[in-house]
Amino acid sequence: MRPITAFLLALLWSVAASAVPELDQPAPALRGTLLSGAAFDLEQMRGKVVLVNFYSSYCKFCAYEIGNLEAFYEAHRAQGFEVIALGVDEASDRERVARMLDIYGLPGAMVDELQANGFGRRYPTPTAFIVDRAGVLRYKQWGAKSPTFYSEMVLPLLRER
């Protein structure tokens, strides 16, 4: 690889990485209106474990994961687990995103419609951030997740009080 190419790639990576919320720090602000019309504010979800999940209705890995996420969400919602699925699709695909979330019973919003700081950009899909009950960002994961990801990452946080 030529030195200038390596330099440019390193520079791009450092800029992208610097925009990503840091682990073990308070989660960035995230609020808006869900596709259902209900308002949400991550700050007001303190006391719950929240998965902020970026996805696209065109993403094959996202489609694979959403069934696992739905089952886990339904099984652990009463324990204080919440999901905010953030569609990164274009605004013209809003109806497609809404149908997908409705089928799986997951609350979600379109990224471009949020009032956010740190979470308000388009991440590669699927991308997951997990926020603990105290509002601290505990995990982040790019790419496809194993079927056991949610139980391995979320269950320990649900047990914490």
- For position 120, which CATH number holds? 3.40.30.10
Instruction: Assess if residue 15 is contained within a domain.
Output: no
Instruction: Assess if residue 95 is contained within a domain.
Output: yes
Instruction: Assess if residue 131 is contained within a domain.
Output: yes
Instruction: Quote the crossing angle between the two packed helices 60-76 and 94-104, to the nearest 10°.
Output: 40
Instruction: Assess if residue 9 is contained within a domain.
Output: no
Q: Which residue spans within 17-136 are E strands per DSSP? A: 30-33, 39-41, 49-55, 81-87, 108-110, 115-116, 127-131
Instruction: Assess if residue 152 is contained within a domain.
Output: yes
Contact between residue 130 and residue 157 where contact means Cβ atoms under 8 Å apart? yes
Query: Distance between CA 151 and CA 149 in Å, rounded?
Result: 6
Query: Distance between CA 136 and CA 156 in Å, rounded?
Result: 14
Cα-Cα end-to-end distance for the chain: 50
CA angle 8, 13, 14 (to 5 degrees): 100
- Tens-place pLDDT, residues 90-113: 888 888 888 888 888 888 888 878
Instruction: Assess if residue 49 is contained within a domain.
Output: yes
- Tens-place pLDDT, residues 30-82: 888 888 888 889 999 999 999 999 988 888 888 888 888 999 999 999 999 99
Q: Quick one: pLDDT at residue 7? A: 41
Residue 159 has pLDDT above 70, yes or no: yes
SS3 52: strand
Residues of the domain holding 36 = 22-159
Instruction: Assess if residue 6 is contained within a domain.
Output: no
Instruction: Please state, rounded to an integer, the average pLDDT across all residues of the chain.
Output: 83
Number of domains within the chain = 1
Instruction: Assess if residue 11 is contained within a domain.
Output: no
